[in-house]
A and B are shown apart, each in its own frame.
Chain A
């Protein structure tokens, strides 16, 4: 069955330093993978998604993720964290139908 594992429940970085949020997937076929962000009291917002067109996916707000089949990973990165990036980040995949399978989430804290 399809699943995703987010390896860190909390990540803290200093403003201006790189961000790395880790996600590993399990799938028997080429998966669709997504990263969503949730700011307090807001809905989940799509950051980017992988659909096999390109292994390096660029998203909004300077985020990108690289699909690595050999490592079954889809880690989210950003070169330089901003205070406004503090939020909860979810890695997701789809099942054979359209329903989303969520990771457990990673709460990103950005220190001034």
Chain B
């Protein structure tokens, strides 16, 4: 069964550094999402992406964040200058066009020191 994959599984970075989290969606899925879960808190929506543009973003998704599909397959989340409070588990999810069911990757644990 096709799966969403994410790399790396764990990323440790210094505050102020840029990080790129990568997701490989299920083939032929049309909608892409990033969510995050800070330890001990709810999973929160960050951004949705469709037809090569952001369709919705949350208040969390400020100018430090960006998303893109650079090669038509990978879906990336970039944080330009990481802060301590960006430490969290980041989940990618993808969705085919005919259903509202999302398929999640295993997550990337980001630790900002």
Chain B 75-113 interface 0/1 with A at a Cβ cutoff of 8 Å (1 = within):
000000000000000010101000011111111000000
Contact of B55 with A97 in the complex, beta carbons under 8 Å: yes
Chain A 13-52 interface 0/1 with B at a Cβ cutoff of 8 Å (1 = within):
0000000000000000000101010000111111001010
Report the separation of the CA atoms of residues A90 and B93 in the bound assembly, to the nearest whole angstrom. 15
Contact of A100 with B4 in the complex, beta carbons under 8 Å: no
Q: Which of B4, B44, B48, B101 has the most CB of A within 10 A?
A: B101
Report the separation of the CA atoms of residues A43 and B1 in the bound assembly, to the nearest whole angstrom. 14
Contact of B3 with A94 in the complex, beta carbons under 8 Å: no
Q: Which segment of A68-76, A77-85, A101-109 sits at the interface?
A: A101-109
Contact of B44 with A99 in the complex, beta carbons under 8 Å: no
CB distance from A90 to the nearest CB of B (A): 7
Report the separation of the CA atoms of residues A2 and B71 in the bound assembly, to the nearest whole angstrom. 35
Interface size on A, residues (CB 8 A): 22
Chain B 40-58 interface 0/1 with A at a Cβ cutoff of 8 Å (1 = within):
0011110010000001100
Contact of A43 with B91 in the complex, beta carbons under 8 Å: yes
Contact of A98 with B106 in the complex, beta carbons under 8 Å: no
Q: Which of B13-45 contact A (CB under 8 A)?
A: 31, 33, 35, 42-45
Contact of B106 with A42 in the complex, beta carbons under 8 Å: yes
Question: Which A residues lie within 8 Å of B31 (CB)?
Answer: 98
Contact of A36 with B100 in the complex, beta carbons under 8 Å: no
Question: Which B residues lie within 8 Å of A98 (CB)?
Answer: 31, 48, 95, 100, 102
Contact of A49 with B45 in the complex, beta carbons under 8 Å: no
Known contacts A98-B100, A99-B48: A43-B42 contact under CB 8 Å: no
Listed in ascending order, the chain B residues whose CB lies under 8 Å from chain A are 3-4, 9, 31, 33, 35, 42-45, 48, 55-56, 91, 93, 95, 100-107
Excluding A98-B31, A98-B48, 4 further A-B contacts by CB distance (< 8 Å) are A41-B9, A97-B48, A98-B100, A102-B43
Listed in ascending order, the chain A residues whose CB lies under 8 Å from chain B are 32, 34, 36, 41-46, 49, 51, 90, 94, 97-105
